[in-house]
Amino acid sequence: MARGDTPMTRWLLNGQEVENPTGMTIMEAAREHGVDIPDFCYHPGLSIAGNCRICMVESNRSPKPIIACSERIADGLEIKTDSDVAVEARNSVMEFQLINHPLDCPVCDKSGECILQDHSYTHGPDRSRFVEDKNIRHTKELGPTISIWGNRCIVCTRCVRFCDEISGTGELCVVERGDRAVVDVFPGIPIDNAMAGNTVDICPVGALISEDFKFEARVWNMDRRDSVCGGCARGCNIEVETLDGYVKRLLPRENLEVNDWWMCDHGRYGWRHLYSENRLTTARTANQELEDDSATSTLADFVSRAKKVAFLIDPFLTCEELSLIHGLSSSIPDSIVGGWLPPKGTAEQFPSGFTISSAKHPNRRGAEKIFGSKVFGKDGKDLLKALDSRKVSTLIAFCGGPAEEGPGSSWSEAIRKARKRIVFSVMDGDWLKGASLVVPATAPLEKEGTWINEDGRLQRARSCWKPGDEPFCPELVRLQQVQMACEIRTRCLSAAGVFRELAENIKAFSQHSHSDLGDGGLPLSRRRARVDSKGGTR
């Protein structure tokens, strides 16, 4: 950060003199120096409420401890986070929070990632002095995807502030007072905005529960992989959580350049088609099912014998896969490449600046960088015309979208006019009938590679598959095997290796490599990103 011209404040943190930009809160400043102050209601993406009081620290300017999340640093301020006063204050707050909190951890879906659990473990007393009956508050559905388990609520109001400030819809409020206070919706107005799922993520306890994930898995049993959402051209950074190689839920990942701390519900719940019964998992020819290996050899056979091949690409393919298609198409003379686009959806813009793109595909920019900016426009139209006039003998089509009807009726009919057609498809559908070869394709979340979002940011997606336990060969490998069979490649590379070739071949990518991209990705036009501050938590 450029600190030279920012006014700085010198203050004492646990007896040590430190310096931070003026105007910072004590909590943020202390975290910069590696001193962790516990929080419940504080969230870097939300306004400061200061109602949980767990962040109390001892100050020299106040007879009583003050809350670190809302007080700002000042010259000469002396803060102690681990003095007797501060520890006593924290322990008391913790005991107070736990008075009405039920011991639901064994059945609570939050347990394992629960902030209350963590703080109770670190700060609180290990038993309660409370002998009266615990309060009972309502358990009910707040909306189609979210329900509240009121007993667990600690009224931090993170979710209420989220709906007010981030999604701007304001469905949630706190009803009742004192120890009966609990989060609720207004009668007849369920919480159903497109960002509602985030309230479950930011809930520090298990009060807000996603119906989608309820009782599905315990969080500590799942594997997490940093990836990118393929639901729209926004490319929100996400964490994919899997159990035994099956996706169980998606969580947003902090990236201040793209999605802040949030993701939309379309993306969050948009993975169910991966395990639908119409998912295509085995290859087949027009009359029989094929083993995975023989699908590759059959495909290689088709490609090597074809005189003239047309490629129909889609905007779900990663840059690496596109690079391999590019390699194939340029090795076959007279091949033509066109692309199809899924129909536009609705775009949404939220008050916080979070946007949902109308383009429901992740990598149009990448395809245009590799095949030229006309690939989805004029080239696509040319290919459609060529197909309609039956000039295409062999067609290799890709359909990575979640729609069962494939690339839409006009394209489906045109594809049917090719004499030999090879289709890579995620979903099985009627439009695939009569294809010479149908190959199962990886969907977003299963792909290993990079996408370029609508802002031109190159980001890495990682596969949710368990390594060594893949249900079928991903295109990244299959296309390389085809290239090896056509003798334009000597060995099979990883996604990073293919990207290196891409960087050598296409100038737009020449500045980048997988290792440079890091977790947050980079704009295609710029080599080095500034390091994102890691101050915030979910």
Partner 1 sequence: MANHDDASEKQDETRTGTTEPRKKASFALPVIKGLANTLAHVLRREPNTIHYPEEKRTPYPGYRGEHRLKRDELGREKCTACFLCATACPAFCIEIVAEEAPWDDREKRPRIFNIDMMRCIYCGMCEEACPCDAIELTPIYNIPSRTRGEKIYDKEKLLSL
Report which DSSP code applies to 453. -
Among 64, 127, 177, 214, binds partner 1 (CB under 8 A): 214
What is the distance between the alpha carbons of residues 63 and 15, in angstroms, rounded to a whole number?
18
**Minimum distance from residue 101 beta carbon to partner 1 (Å):** 15
* Candidates 15-23, 57-65, 100-108, 298-306; binding stretch for partner 1 (CB under 8 A): 100-108
**Minimum distance from residue 468 beta carbon to partner 1 (Å):** 18
Taking the least distance from each CB to partner 1, the nearer of 211 and 301 is 211
Taking the least distance from each CB to partner 1, the nearer of 249 and 360 is 249
Among 34, 106, 187, 467, binds partner 1 (CB under 8 A): 106
Give just the sign of the alpha carbon dihedral 213, 216, 220, 223.
negative
Q: Is 446 helix (H, G, I), strand (E, B) or coil?
A: coil
Concatenated DSSP letters for 479-538? Answer: HHHHHHHTTS-SS---HHHHHHHHHHH-GGGTT--HHHHTTT-EETT-S-PPPPP-----
What is the distance between the alpha carbons of residues 117 and 154, in angstroms, rounded to a whole number?
12
Q: What are residue 431's DSSP bridge partners?
A: none
**Minimum distance from residue 246 beta carbon to partner 1 (Å):** 12
Q: What are residue 437's DSSP bridge partners?
A: 285, 422
Give the CA distances from residue 407 to residues 341, 342, 373, 412, 532, in Å, rounded to whole numbers and listed in that order. 7, 6, 20, 6, 38
String marking each residue 331-360 x if it binds partner 1 according to CB under 8 A: ------------------------------
**Minimum distance from residue 221 beta carbon to partner 1 (Å):** 7
Number of residues that bind partner 1 (CB under 8 A): 10
Taking the least distance from each CB to partner 1, the nearer of 104 and 301 is 104
* Candidates 210-218, 272-280, 313-321, 330-338; binding stretch for partner 1 (CB under 8 A): 210-218
Taking the least distance from each CB to partner 1, the nearer of 28 and 241 is 241
**Minimum distance from residue 106 beta carbon to partner 1 (Å):** 3
Q: Is 165 helix (H, G, I), strand (E, B) or coil?
A: helix
What is the distance between the alpha carbons of residues 230 and 318, in angstroms, rounded to a whole number?
10
**Minimum distance from residue 215 beta carbon to partner 1 (Å):** 4
475-485 and 319-331 helices cross at what angle (nearest 10)?
A: 20
Concatenated DSSP letters for 189-214? Answer: -----TTTHHHHHH-SSSSEEETTTT
The residues in 220-239 that bind partner 1, with binding defined as CB under 8 A, are 220-221
Among 218, 225, 279, 462, binds partner 1 (CB under 8 A): 218
Instruction: Name the nearest CA neighbour of 362 among 232, 258, 273, 238.
Output: 232
**Minimum distance from residue 240 beta carbon to partner 1 (Å):** 21
**Minimum distance from residue 423 beta carbon to partner 1 (Å):** 35
The residues in 394-453 that bind partner 1, with binding defined as CB under 8 A, are none
Instruction: Name the nearest CA neighbour of 312 among 213, 226, 228, 421.
Output: 421
Among 1, 215, 487, 507, binds partner 1 (CB under 8 A): 215
Taking the least distance from each CB to partner 1, the nearer of 188 and 468 is 468
By CB under 8 A, residue 127 contacts partner 1: no
**Minimum distance from residue 141 beta carbon to partner 1 (Å):** 13
* Residue 162, Cβ density class (10 Å: 0-12 exposed, 13-18 middle, ≥19 buried): buried
**Minimum distance from residue 390 beta carbon to partner 1 (Å):** 52
Taking the least distance from each CB to partner 1, the nearer of 152 and 447 is 152
* Candidates 15-23, 70-78, 217-225, 291-299; binding stretch for partner 1 (CB under 8 A): 217-225
Q: What is the side-by-side order of every strand in the sheet holding 223-228?
A: 223-228, 237-243, 246-252
* Candidates 4-12, 104-112, 404-412, 464-472; binding stretch for partner 1 (CB under 8 A): 104-112
Among 107, 136, 189, 488, binds partner 1 (CB under 8 A): 107
* Contact of 231 with 360, CB cutoff 8 Å: yes
Instruction: Name the nearest CA neighbour of 208 among 260, 163, 178.
Output: 163
What is the distance between the alpha carbons of residues 302 and 357, in angstroms, rounded to a whole number?
38
Taking the least distance from each CB to partner 1, the nearer of 49 and 222 is 222
* Candidates 18-26, 98-106, 259-267, 410-418; binding stretch for partner 1 (CB under 8 A): 98-106
**Minimum distance from residue 149 beta carbon to partner 1 (Å):** 8
Taking the least distance from each CB to partner 1, the nearer of 90 and 152 is 152
**Minimum distance from residue 73 beta carbon to partner 1 (Å):** 42
Q: Is 431 helix (H, G, I), strand (E, B) or coil?
A: helix
Pairing of strands 420-425, 437-440: parallel
List Cβ neighbours of 28 (8 Å cut-off, separation of 6 or more): 44, 535
**Minimum distance from residue 213 beta carbon to partner 1 (Å):** 11
Residues that bind partner 1 (CB under 8 A): 104-107, 214-216, 218, 220-221
